[in-house]
Structure 1
Amino acid sequence: MNPISFLTASVWMLFFGSLQAAQHWKLESPKDPTFAIKGGVVQSAKGVEGGSLALDGVAVLEVKESAKLGHGGKGFTLVAWVNPYTLNAGQQMIVAKNVYSRNQREWGVMIDKDGRFRLYLRQGGWQTVTAETRPKPGHWHQVGVVVTPQRAELWINGKREGVGAMKHPLPQTAASLTFGGVNDGGQIWQNLFGALDEIRLWDSPLNETEMSARYRPVKATHRLPKHLPLGGEVFSLWNGPELPADPERIPFAAGIQHSTIHRPAEDGYKFLHGAAIVIHRGVLYANWANSPTNENGPHETLQGRRSRDGGKTWEPLEVVGPGFKGADRHSHGVLFRHRDELWTICSRFGTGEPNGRRFRGLRGEAFVLDEKANQWKSRGIVMRNCWPYDEPVRMGNGSYITGGQDKDGYPVVAMSRGDDFTKWDSVLIPFPPQLKPSFAETTVWADGAHVLAVIRGGAGVAWVSTSDDHGKTWAKARPSNLPMPRAKAYLGRLSTNQLYLVSNYRNRDTLCISVGKPGAKTLSHMWRLRHGKSGPPRFPGHAKGKQWSYPYAHEHEGKLYVAYSIGKEDCGLTVVPLASLAHP
């Protein structure tokens, strides 16, 4: 140890000699017996004092015999050093004590999706405390948490930057302490891509003087990796200027118009999700999943409405895919024209084989509008093990392709047998475990034999796979450089020959459209369509919350019609003039 470090350590020992000894993790070697590495790779790197541990955005450190740490009645204090390598990797946990899947929720301190240091505390729901200081990739930051029976404090670099009142004691669960992510019953997520060093935990709160004295500036920096984490080189889906952390710096598309297609009434089905939209013979059709209360619940149906004036007014609800008395159900799907007929292929699941991890017996049922009888009539099961998500697009071999997810929530595509839409073949897209598929909803676009797939995945970015043989085989999915949370997106190409993607940006509070230059295969300009918190749901229901999500788009006569869910309760519509999407 050099003389300065020895003097610093001596002063600390004298100053804090009266305090109860802290649990101390130096984090100098991946072979430390006090923790187990889960999920990825951890390497030694230069630290605040001596070495540190660099995590690859996949790994988490689970501290052994740590379930009771911080459970003293006085509260606790945490001090940790963190050096993030990116702010575009979603929620990056620094230290946590949570196993969400087992309802073991206590607290966690992280770099959140908006690039801010934030403390989460379980107080019935989650209560947060946010810091003003923003982390700088490649630089060391000291993060402190002080919890007393009355309050919780968030400290950054020796300064108290946030305070929250404690209305209830924190839960005391069997969750282990974890560094750099969460081990959620075997699912490793909320991972840090960066380095950690010198973590200490006291079973008592330090006072202001003691916390301030623990900090000293660190000038050493880490060279930033060229690529984001998660196994393999990053796919360059975005080819434009650097995207801002703050979505309010993204301009709105000009001339857009918003309206509501449907709002449930007290006596109607109160859960709505997964809208689709199309124009057929001058009439605007939209449909969506409707259930009495909960997402993917029993008795879910496919319902919709029609507009004969471009979306200004809408006719009464109509049932497209009816409900069932048993566990079977219809849900949302795709809506499109084929051979001058109006088709929808919706998901159907709940009974039968195969018994999937997410959707038992998943299949797609086709309904076609009988225009003489003005009724939707079933053409039977046309697709298996694929929940389709976008309007089928024609490939160079004459077959059509749509993206989706399979019975286990994994990425999949379905391809028609030529022009016959009553027979589709499903093909899984391979992916590394780092994709962490939960509901890997996939959207595709085809140019000849080449097919691009954009997949909902982890790490706060869109994942991408490609096929060069009309969707028969696929490259292993990999992360892209386009920020996108875990939410369904919609990919297409405009009549101006511009590739476009409608997606959420960082979280579901912002819905954006990105476009490329005419003929390009990448995206390079972005506009906002919706931003801010949507109105809160008016009725209870599983998985509801403030959001603009699950877009579906259809172009007609110089306008792009974008339908989406509002809070998983209402169906929204934004009409975008194509002229406003011209690439600068």
Structure 2
Amino acid sequence: MTRITKQHHIFWTVGLFILLQSCGCGKAGQADAPKEEDDRTIKIQVGTRDVETDQFTSKGTPVVPMWKAPMATVDIRNGAGFPILSDAEHDVVWQPSVREDGAYNHYACLIHHNGRFYAMWGNHEFGEDAPGQRVLYAHADEWGNWTDAEELFPAPGPVLPRSENGIHLKPDCWAIIDDVLYAITYVHGAGVYPIARAVSEEGTLGEPFLVQSLPNNGSLPVFMEGDDAPTAPSPIGERLYRWYRENDQISWWANASWGVQRTAVDGQSLIESFIYRAKDGGLVLMLRDWGHANNPVHTNRMYVSFNDGTGGWAAPYPTDIPDSPSRAQALTLEDGTVLLIGNQNVNRYDQALYLDRDPMTISISKDGYTFDRVYALRTGSPTGHRFSGIGGRNPGYAYSSSIVRDGWLYTMYSIGKEDMGITRVPLSALELE
């Protein structure tokens, strides 16, 4: 195996508010989320679902109520006030030994197929989403026994510093069709579109192919160029595109071609979509506000739209589900319980907080519409990095990918966008019954 070598009254009012927040005043010592003075209760149409709400953002936009769990405390590096799952077991999937291995690692994707766990993630030497970002993968036949990393999709173009623009890759998901495992990755910086390849149990990789037609302004990765370079999806590519819908999935990078609106009703820019099926059979689409260190307008809320299967996705509304912000994911269990895995560690809304992604949380909903319990799956992340000078990294456990197998929840994630980790916890620890 080849080793691979981010004026007074106002002053008094603001001061009092800051004092109350810093002392953690509120129920159970938690900081209360500020609320708009508004005693209205209204009905809104959120996609295909009627919603009644008496909540509004600081700018007056109606909020879809979905959160009955406690808000986080400010002690986010010690579980943020949530119960810490002591039964959880943690392991490392892969970490770079030297900078040249790629000291930026992120975008976890996990699956189990024919007795083996497979993991893939994005990797770069200089930083997040820099030109030439490639995709690595590893596998494990048993817990705690991961192989070294190999290239799954090599660099699609020149490997350049993050200050440059250029083609790069971001993993999307694994898929299984006719007992064949496929890795699906999105091309960015040369149009935005998916490519895929088969991965055999012997470690042989199939030729990369298009899952959707090449965009008009798109160009192929260098490893797909040539006299027979594709411009349209192959039959298996078309089947993979249908696979998403047939399996209640959607791409993290879904856009208008998927019927997904990435501008919310309040004008916020949204990214990183995912869907799940609620207990009553309705589909729920969630996205996060495009918050980052230089964005002073994000709301620290997840956004939602509902679909009963009769059409596309209407513009999402803000919810009261807190968000650090970070990418999240939801799984629907056999009994209809929904597990939301992310970083719901915010103690107040509409403040453009940009928090370390710690803890990584599991929020639980019996019906898929109201989340009323939260656990800290992992907390106490490193505050520094082994390799310096890598762009786009930030502390925490984030961008998870989860599966359920044999009564366990397995969750893979990045650690400070430098290493790739994995945690497993028995479902019994979540007290779902």
From the superposition, tell whether residues 434 and 227 of structure 1 become closer, same or farther in structure 2 (CA, over 3 Å).
Answer: same
Look up the match of 1:477.
316
Verify the 8 A CA contact 1:284 1:306 in the aligned structure 2. yes
Supply the AA of the counterpart residue of 2:362.
I
| Aligned counterpart in structure 1 of residue 171 of structure 2, from 311, 332, 338 | 332
Classify the secondary structure of the residue corresponding to 1:525.
Answer: strand
Verify the 8 A CA contact 1:455 1:464 in the aligned structure 2. yes
Supply the AA of the counterpart residue of 2:321.
L
Classify the secondary structure of the residue corresponding to 1:377.
Answer: coil
Supply the AA of the counterpart residue of 1:401.
Q
| Cα drift, residue 535 of structure 1 | 4.3
Look up the match of 2:139.
306
Look up the match of 1:369.
199
Look up the match of 1:263.
95
| Cα drift, residue 445 of structure 1 | 0.8
Classify the secondary structure of the residue corresponding to 1:405.
Answer: coil
| Cα drift, residue 83 of structure 1 | 9.1
- CA distance in 1 between counterparts of 2:202 and 2:25 reads 63
- CA distance in 1 between counterparts of 2:271 and 2:116 reads 32
Look up the match of 2:231.
none
- CA distance in 2 between counterparts of 1:282 and 1:456 reads 34
Extract structure 1 runs of 4+ deviating beyond 6 A: 192-195, 222-225, 391-395
Verify the 8 A CA contact 1:393 1:402 in the aligned structure 2. no
Supply the AA of the counterpart residue of 2:424.
V
| Cα drift, residue 394 of structure 1 | 7.1
- CA distance in 1 between counterparts of 2:287 and 2:18 reads 24
- CA distance in 1 between counterparts of 2:360 and 2:241 reads 23
| Aligned counterpart in structure 2 of residue 274 of structure 1, from 85, 102, 107 | 107
Look up the match of 1:537.
385
Supply the AA of the counterpart residue of 1:237.
M
| Cα drift, residue 384 of structure 1 | 7.2
What is the root-mean-square deviation of aligned Cα atoms in Å?
3.3
Q: What per-residue deviation string (whole Å, max 9, x for no partner) do you get for residues 462-515 of structure 1?
A: 111112226x42232111122112210011112343111001022312110011
Q: Which has the higher contact order (CA 8 A, sep 6+)?
A: 2
From the superposition, tell whether residues 462 and 379 of structure 1 become closer, same or farther in structure 2 (CA, over 3 Å).
Answer: same
Which structure dedicates a bigger proportion of its chain to helix?
2
From the superposition, tell whether residues 496 and 260 of structure 1 become closer, same or farther in structure 2 (CA, over 3 Å).
Answer: farther
Look up the match of 1:294.
127
Q: Does 1:560 align with 2:399?
A: no
Look up the match of 2:14.
82
Q: Does 1:446 align with 2:277?
A: yes
| Aligned counterpart in structure 2 of residue 489 of structure 1, from 309, 328, 350 | 328
| Cα drift, residue 245 of structure 1 | 3.0
Q: Give 1:227-266 correspondences, 5 Å limit.
A: 227-229=55-57, 230-238=59-67, 240-246=68-74, 247-266=79-98
From the superposition, tell whether residues 253 and 336 of structure 1 become closer, same or farther in structure 2 (CA, over 3 Å).
Answer: farther
Gaps of 5+ in 1: 1-23, 27-47, 53-78, 85-109, 117-131, 138-191, 196-221, 352-360, 386-390, 407-411, 414-424
Q: Does 1:551 align with 2:384?
A: no
From the superposition, tell whether residues 295 and 523 of structure 1 become closer, same or farther in structure 2 (CA, over 3 Å).
Answer: same
Classify the secondary structure of the residue corresponding to 1:532.
Answer: coil
Classify the secondary structure of the residue corresponding to 1:284.
Answer: strand
- CA distance in 2 between counterparts of 1:523 and 1:242 reads 10
Verify the 8 A CA contact 1:253 1:527 in the aligned structure 2. yes
| Cα drift, residue 304 of structure 1 | 0.9
Q: What per-residue deviation string (whole Å, max 9, x for no partner) do you get for residues 227-273 of structure 1?
A: 131554321222x4443435542112242100110111113111100
Verify the 8 A CA contact 1:370 1:377 in the aligned structure 2. no
Verify the 8 A CA contact 1:276 1:552 in the aligned structure 2. yes
Classify the secondary structure of the residue corresponding to 1:334.
Answer: strand
Look up the match of 2:375.
527
Q: Give 1:158-237 correspondences, 5 Å limit.
A: 226-229=54-57, 230-237=59-66
Verify the 8 A CA contact 2:265 2:316 in the aligned structure 1. no
Verify the 8 A CA contact 1:307 1:315 in the aligned structure 2. yes
Gaps of 5+ in 2: 1-6, 28-32, 41-53, 159-165, 216-239, 290-297, 347-354
Supply the AA of the counterpart residue of 1:476.
A
Look up the match of 1:346.
185
Look up the match of 1:36.
none
Q: Give 1:421-460 correspondences, 5 Å limit.
A: 425-429=257-261, 431-432=263-264, 434=266, 436-437=268-269, 440-446=271-277, 450-457=282-289, 458-460=298-300
- CA distance in 1 between counterparts of 2:213 and 2:420 reads 26
Normalised TM-score (structure 1): 0.54
Look up the match of 1:461.
301
Percent sequence identity over aligned pairs: 20
| Aligned counterpart in structure 1 of residue 151 of structure 2, from 313, 319, 324 | 319
Verify the 8 A CA contact 2:381 2:415 in the aligned structure 1. no
Q: Does 1:379 align with 2:209?
A: yes
